[in-house]
Amino acid sequence: MTTATRFAAAESGHFNAADGVQIQYRVHQVDAPRFGVVVVHGFAEHGNRYGHLVDAVVPAGGAVLTYDQRGHGQSGGRRVFVLRFDEYLDDLAQVLALAKSKLPQPLFVVGHSMGGLVVLSYALRDRGAAAAWAVSNPALVNRVAVPAWKEALAKAMSSLVPALSLPSGIPPDHISRDADEVRQYADDPLNSKNATARWYTEYVAAQQRLAASAEGLRDLPLLVQIGDGDRIIDPGVTRKFCERIGGSALRVEVYPGLYHEIFNELTADRDRVLADLVGWLTARAA
């Protein structure tokens, strides 16, 4: 199951990443285009889960491209596996090139959770690739505890058996306070329940690299949206990270009590989050 959208994709297809992995994408067009948005989804999910975001952005004049990261959703590759975290960044570079040929300009990038980690890491590499960037509950430090035995096993197997798959251990009811969203998430066959050893060590290393580089994001047009009830990613760490970025180009919005998937929260709260995002995007498209 997926989060439904009123605006069916005008186009769907795939392209081959540099190593031949097929990346699935969808484009939601708009009659009177004002800007384009690329959406980068989170860990173990897929781009078709962002229907609420599409429904908020399209009426404001934003065409939206969603895609499934490698090893996720309908894209190719071993499930939740990379040899290098930068594979996600390399794929995003190709997605942005595709988006510039299919979406109106200016182009914005929105990333959630692990997608936020990918987006912020990419912005450090090429801040001029988009007109502005937005992240929701970026995966800077996990709040869900990883058992010591599992972490030790992942580290040991990362080189020996990198594709070893282990349960992620994320309770579905941690994603949202909306019971229907939790049920859809749990029942969706395209959502992975596991992660691989190499993915985990690469993910942690990417978190550490980004944590050491916060100041490199200063003066980047950036919106950070934080649910301070997040039980998966530590919202306090994200707030401190934003303090290190500083500068007038950064906007931080904190939503009391909201869980991890703030775009899939209870209706009134979700609408407020999306209104903030759309308002920020349209102000930069003027």
Q: Domain boundaries in the chain?
A: 11-285
14 is catalytic: no
Q: Residue range 109-116: average pLDDT?
A: 98
CATH 3.40.50.460 fits domain 11-285: no
pLDDT at residue 265, as a whole number? 98
CB 218 within 8 A of CB 247: yes
Q: Residue range 149-176: average pLDDT?
A: 96
Helices (H), 104-227: 114-125, 148-160, 179-187, 197-211
What percent of the chain has a predicted confidence (pLDDT) above 70?
99
Distances (CA, A) of 194 to 190, 200, 217: 12, 11, 32
CA distance 163 to 168: 14
Each residue of 200-212: pLDDT tens digit?
999 999 999 999 9
pLDDT at residue 145 is higher than 90: no
Mean model confidence pLDDT for the chain: 96
Q: Residue range 221-227: average pLDDT?
A: 98
pLDDT at residue 3, as a whole number? 64
Each residue of 30-55: pLDDT tens digit?
999 999 999 999 999 999 999 999 99
113 is catalytic: yes
Which of 52, 75, 113, 176 is the catalytic position?
113
Q: Residue range 269-274: average pLDDT?
A: 98
Judging by beta carbons within 10 Å of its beta carbon (0-12, 13-18, 19+), is residue 232 exposed, middle or buried? buried
165 is catalytic: no
Please tell me the pTM assigned to this model.
0.97
Which of 178, 188, 230, 269 is the catalytic position?
230
Which of 75, 91, 260, 269 is the catalytic position?
260
pLDDT at residue 1, as a whole number? 40
CB 133 within 8 A of CB 119: yes
Judging by beta carbons within 10 Å of its beta carbon (0-12, 13-18, 19+), is residue 141 exposed, middle or buried? middle
